[in-house]
Amino acid sequence: MTNYIYKFDKETCWYKNSCSKYNTLECDSNCLRYMEIHYLMYQSEIPLMRQNPKILVPVKEDINNFEFLKSIKDDIVNFVKNGESLYIFSENFGNGKTTWAIKIMLKYFDEIWAGNGFRCRGVFVSVPGFLTKLKENISRKNETFEQLRIKIAESDLVVWDDIGAVKLGDYDHTNLLAYVDNRLINQKANIYTGNLSDYNGALSMALGKRLASRVWNESSQVRLVGPDWRGFDGSITDY
């Protein structure tokens, strides 16, 4: 991104409530963690309102799934190092798929910020929006989109959010397959989220068999069953 500007604001610091340096003399624009996380967040394109950790509450049936996702989160550095992929899906909406994917990515940032040296390490891609931009870019080259393409190819971890939300046309399929394939070949980690569960049915229909096979067969899969939690404002666990 060309227009990145570093700006320190301790009140919006992600670590405000836990950092031992908060509000001390050391809490200033010289804070190495703040500057690295600020850069990682900016480059990741995670929507601003989702950049702070959100607490999730599992229904009983999802406790094991949450435990599994937590285990991936806790070992995210190795997950990335090994070039692994994860598909988080659910037939229901608003039960934490995207939140989990972002939580895992944020945890990765939290692990690698020291020694990062202002590199983009993870990107959040909303697949429907990405496909729209991809088409727009045919007729009018967009510099920001070109940068996003590079980031997708080079970042350690990409979250492909809402994959399969729209049925892919030939052009979409060819392109999305190329991006995903390229990452898999280069052993780069991915987290997909979506609502399609049936590999042979809906998923293959929406993504096409080749892409569906990559998303499904080359990933660990987690199926969340909880209801829509959007609007819930409480916490009873620390996931």
Partner 1 sequence: MVALQIINKILSDKNIEIYADNNLDKDYFVGYENEIEFITNHHAEYNQVPDVISFVENFPDFEILEVTESSEYLIKKIREEYLYYKSVGVIQEAATLLKTDANSAVEYLNNSIRTLELNINNNGIDIIQNADSRLNLYQERLNSKEKWYIGTGFSELDTILNGWTKGEEFVVLFARTGQGKSWILAKTLTNAWQTGNRVGYISPEMSPEKIGYRIDTLINHFSNSNLVYGRLEPEYNDYIQDLKKNDNPFIVATPLDFSKRITISKLRSFCQKHKLDILGIDGITYMTDERYKKGDNKTITLTNISEDLSLLSLELKIPIIVVVQSNRGGVKNDDDAGTPELENIRDSDGIAQNATKVLSIRQTGAGLEFGIKKHRDGAMGNKVIYYWDIDRGEFKYIPSTDDGVNKEHKEEVIKTVKKSYNDKTEVF
15 touches partner 1 (CB under 8 A): yes
Q: Work out whether strand 85-89 and strand 189-194 pair parallel, antiparallel, or are unpaired.
A: parallel
Please identify which residue in 47, 71, 91, 118 interacts with partner 1, judged by CB under 8 A: 118
Task: For the CB of residue 120, give the shortest distance to partner 1 in the complex, in Å.
Answer: 6
Sheet containing strand 220-223, strands side by side: 122-126, 157-161, 189-194, 85-89, 220-223
Task: For the CB of residue 2, give the shortest distance to partner 1 in the complex, in Å.
Answer: 5
Q: Which of residues 127-166 bind partner 1 (CB under 8 A)?
A: 143, 146-147, 150-151, 154
Here's the x/- map for partner 1, 43-82, by CB under 8 A: it reads as x---------x-----------------------------
3-state secondary structure 182-204: HHHHCCCEEEEEECCCCHHHHHH
| The residue type at 136 | E
User: Residue 65 in contact with residue 223, Cβ under 8 Å?
Assistant: yes
Task: For the CB of residue 101, give the shortest distance to partner 1 in the complex, in Å.
Answer: 13
CA–CA distance from 105 to each of 98, 217, 227 (Å)?
A: 11, 22, 23
State the residues that interact with partner 1 by CB under 8 A.
1-2, 4, 6, 14-15, 17-21, 29-30, 32-33, 35-36, 38-39, 43, 53, 103, 106-107, 109-110, 114-120, 143, 146-147, 150-151, 154
